[in-house]
Structure 1
C-alpha cells in the first residue's frame, strides 16, 4: 500500500463527495419530497457506492464503504422522502458534515445545556486521545505476531477492529464538533453494559446505523406487518449491507451469506426477546451483573461463529496487518522528519 497515493485518493474523494452533497442540498431545496426528489438525487445515490473503489487500501475502502455506500446513501434516501437527519434548510457546512460523516446534530435551547456541552469537551478529547493511544498500542503488538498463538492474534485483531470503529466515530465527531461548534447525538453508549439484545443493538451499539435503519426499514415494515416483522426486516437489511461492506474490504465474490445469517439470527432473537419481555412484563428483570455478560457473550460468541470468519478468509487479515504496520511506520517516519 502506497500511503501517499492513498492520501491523494482520499483528497479526491473528499472533493467529489463535497460537490455531490452540495448538489444534493441544492436539488432537495428545489424539489418537494417524493418520487421527483428521489429522481433528482439519483445521480448522487448512484455515485456513492462507486467511490470506495477509489482506494486500494482495505482500511480506507472499507471505511468509505461504511460512510458513503451505507450511511450517506441511506441518509439521501430518507431525504428524498423528507425523513432523516438531513434537510435542505441546513446551512451548507452542517449539511456536508451530516451527510458524509457518522454524526447527527443536536440542538441546544438554553445556555445551561450549552455550558454542559462545553464542560464535556475536555472529557471528549481525552476519550479520543485514549482511543488513539490504544489503537497505536494494539498496532505495535503486531510486530510480535510470529510469537503469538493464532487465537491470541485473532483476539487482538477483533479487538483492534472494534477500537478502529470507535476511533472512526470519535474522529468524525471531533471533526464535526470542531467545524461547527455544536453538540452531537451520541454515536455509541457503552455497548459492553447492554442487558439485552434490544438494548445492545437499539440503544448502545453504533447508534448512527440504528438511526438510519429505524426510519428507513423498521417503521415502514412495523406499520404494515407489526413490531416483530419490523425488527427482523431491519436486521436483514443490516445483514445485507454488512455483506456489501465485507465485499468492499475483501473484494471476494460471491458473498457467503454468513454475515446475513448472523444478523438474521440476532433479529429473530431480538424479536423473540421483545415478545417474551412483553408477556412477562411483571417479572423482575435479571440483575445487570448477570444480564450484561450473557448478552455480550451471546454477541461475541455468535460473532466469532458467523461474523468474523468471512472477514478473515483469503488472507484479508494478513493484508490488514500489513496496512496497519505500514501506517505506523509512515507516522513514525513522518514524525522523525518533522523533528
Structure 2
C-alpha cells in the first residue's frame, strides 16, 4: 500500500505537469494540426503512467481516466471543442481533463448554485453501496456454488458497484477542488428499458460524453445515424480492449470488441423496430427492463468477462478488494481509537 500511494503521488504530479503544459501550449495555438502537434507528447506520455502501479485496480482505473477519457478530451481540445478550453483556470482544466467528470453548464449552475459540499443523501447512498460491495466481495468464495444463471448477475453487480464507487470518489474530490456542480456519472442503469437507454443515458455517462463528439457526430454527419452508432460502439470496444490489456497485460482476444459490436448492431436494430412499431406497441417497461438487463448480463458473461476469468485474474482482483477493505477497516479503527484518546 505504501508503494502504491507513492506511485499515486508521482503519477498525480506527472499528470498535473503534462496537463499544465497542454493548457499553456494550446492557449497560444489555433485549433487544428498545430494544437494536435503540440499535444502529441502528452498523448504519447499518458499511456505510460498506469504502468507505475502494480495494483490491478489502480493500473486499470488510471488507464481509464488518462488513456481513454483524458486522451479523447485532449483530441477534442485540439479540434477546438469542449469540455476543455485553454481559458479555463489551471486547477479546473487539470481536474476536468484528468478526472471522469463533467461540470454542469452555466444555465444549470444558475438553477442549482455550486457548492463544495456533497449533495444531500450522497453519503447515505454510497455508504449503502459500499456495504453491498463489501458483501459481494465477501460472498465471492461462494461464486462457484451459485446457480449458473446467478453468476453473470453477481459479476455484473460487482463491476457496477466497483466502478461507481471509484467514479464517485473522483467526483467528490473534484467537487471539493472546484466547488462546481457536476454531471451525474451513472443514472440507475438497472432501470434501463432498452440498450440505447442503458448505454446512452444510464451507464458510465462519461464514456458516451466523449464518444458522441469524437466519433458518433462526425460519422453520423457523413454516413448517417446507424453508422454513427456502430462506429461509437466499435471504438468503445477497441478502447475496452486497451483497458483489458492494462488488466491482464496480455494482447486482447477480440471478445470485448465483439461484445460491443453485437450491442451496437442490436441498438441499431432496436431503433429501427421502435420507429416502425410506434410507442403503442412497445413492451411494458418492466418487461423491457428485464429483457434489457438479461441481454446485457448474458452477453457480458460470454464475451466481456471471459478474458479476465479465463486468465484467473478475477481471483487477484477480489484479493485486492479484500486487502483494500481490510486496510479501510484498520484505518477506521485507528481513527476511532485516536478520537477516544482526544
Fold match (TM-score > 0.5): yes
Which residue in the other structure is 1:221 paired with? 219
Asked whether 1:175 is paired with 2:173, we answer yes
| Contact 2:109/2:181 (8 A) holds in 1 | no
State how far apart, in whole Å, the 2-side matches of 1:305 and 1:97 are.
36
State how far apart, in whole Å, the 2-side matches of 1:181 and 1:91 are.
13
2:78 aligned residue (80, 84, 90): 80
1:127 aligned residue (119, 125, 128): 125
Asked whether 1:331 is paired with 2:332, we answer no
Moved more, 242-251 or 329-338: 329-338
Distance 1:27 1:322, change over 3 A: same
* Stretches of structure 2 lacking an aligned partner (at least 5 in a row): 338-342
State how far apart, in whole Å, the 1-side matches of 2:3 and 2:73 are.
29
Which residue in the other structure is 1:308 paired with? 305
* Cα displacement (A) at 1:205: 0.9
Asked whether 1:238 is paired with 2:240, we answer no
Which residue in the other structure is 1:201 paired with? 199
Which residue in the other structure is 2:29 paired with? 31
Which residue in the other structure is 1:261 paired with? 258
Which residue in the other structure is 2:145 paired with? 149
Asked whether 1:274 is paired with 2:249, we answer no
Asked whether 1:287 is paired with 2:267, we answer no
Q: Residue 184 of structure 2 aligns to a residue in which SS?
A: coil
Which residue in the other structure is 1:5 paired with? 3
| Contact 2:68/2:239 (8 A) holds in 1 | yes
2:158 aligned residue (148, 157, 160): 160
* Stretches of structure 1 lacking an aligned partner (at least 5 in a row): none
Q: Over residues 137-173 of structure 1, what are the superposed CA-to-partner deviations in whole Å (9 max), with x where a residue is unaligned?
A: 333334xx16951656775444222101011121111
State how far apart, in whole Å, the 2-side matches of 1:120 and 1:5 are.
30
* Cα displacement (A) at 1:277: 2.0
Distance 1:111 1:77, change over 3 A: closer
| Contact 2:187/2:202 (8 A) holds in 1 | yes
* Cα displacement (A) at 1:128: 2.6
* Cα displacement (A) at 1:305: 1.2
Asked whether 1:252 is paired with 2:254, we answer no
| Contact 1:34/1:80 (8 A) holds in 2 | yes
Moved more, 170-179 or 73-82: 170-179
Tell me the TM-score normalised to structure 1 length.
0.92
Q: Over residues 288-330 of structure 1, what are the superposed CA-to-partner deviations in whole Å (9 max), with x where a residue is unaligned?
A: 1111111111111111111111122222011112212222222
State how far apart, in whole Å, the 2-side matches of 1:190 and 1:170 are.
14
Q: Where in structure 1 do 4 or more consecutive aligned residues deviate above 6 Å?
A: 116-120
Aligned CA RMSD, in angstroms, stands at: 2.2
State how far apart, in whole Å, the 1-side matches of 2:6 and 2:76 are.
31
State how far apart, in whole Å, the 1-side matches of 2:57 and 2:158 are.
12
State how far apart, in whole Å, the 1-side matches of 2:60 and 2:118 are.
31
Moved more, 207-216 or 313-322: 313-322
Q: Over residues 70-114 of structure 1, what are the superposed CA-to-partner deviations in whole Å (9 max), with x where a residue is unaligned?
A: 011111111100123111111111111110111000134488723
Which residue in the other structure is 2:340 paired with? none
* Cα displacement (A) at 1:136: 2.8
* Cα displacement (A) at 1:135: 2.6
Moved more, 70-79 or 116-125: 116-125
